[in-house]
Structure 1
């Protein structure tokens, strides 16, 4: 495998999007460490829960109903949610104000416990996220998959990106590019594949000095059907 230089990827993306200035305007910038530290634990639980419910459902439908979710689930405050019994959760899953899906609803207390445990260990969930070792973002994905509920695949990564964490996303365009370049083969969520993918992004980061977020977006813009 010969990894394509990031300058070549950038040039192709810029050509497809109408120039450097237009491409740069499309990129989203991750939050700083201090900005991440200011995020309350309930906002992480809300973000994880929203992404869980968006799996297999129109994202816009879930977003439009999300104020109702915030109301039904106490603003996703961790402590009150941890006090609910299984019977309470089953009742909440039948509330007509939300999308009624018991299995997805039950991911909320599971992820609340994950966040609570991390808060006990690190002081806050945001501290764990903000201080996660640089260059090991896929290990954070695996942490969410192992300790959380329904946060495997792209779900956890999309939630992290939504919250401003610097992470790449294995979208269909990015995945297709990486496969075409023989960065990995087989399942994209295997430890071997994630290690190879992480190494490729680390190389591009060293070449460009850019965030993982920017690199991921630029790769997506450099291929697929998303021309100007």
Structure 2
């Protein structure tokens, strides 16, 4: 059965071009793709990018991997990464990422994915490769996720240690015990970048005070 061959894609997103070899016997492969989409055999992530629908998919979907593939270069960060690392108690529904290109939002059958632009020089700082099973993706380290949040929070008034503590531990509800092992090199990279210097100086004071 042709649909069984779709299971070879697992939970990894794939392009229309990757589908065409399976449909070489069809004169109008787009018609078969449309049929699969209507039946839920395929799920469209964006134009020309798909994942296999259930029950033909043999692996769970990995939303961070899908976020990476939807728009790049990008790295899952901000609220979603904070929750992933267990720094905040709330469950985050929207998959939040940082990117080097223009910010954008993508909505599809799997949910909402947002991308916020940060300076090119800051993008690789604290960038890690994580895995769920055999699915690998870019995810911000805990320190990067915190720094990206400070960088991108508009009108952030946390200019001193006390106000930064209030932002981190009251507004974001970050568990301060989980920040003790912060990455000093990543923090210094953000603090010396010239972006929001007073806020990052306050962040440094808070994190160094946890040691």
Q: Tell me which interval the TM-score lies in, with the shorter structure as reference length.
A: under 0.3
- State TM-score, norm by structure 2: 0.26
Higher RCO structure (Cα 8 Å, ≥6 apart)? 1
Larger radius of gyration: 2
More strand by share: 2
- State TM-score, norm by structure 1: 0.24
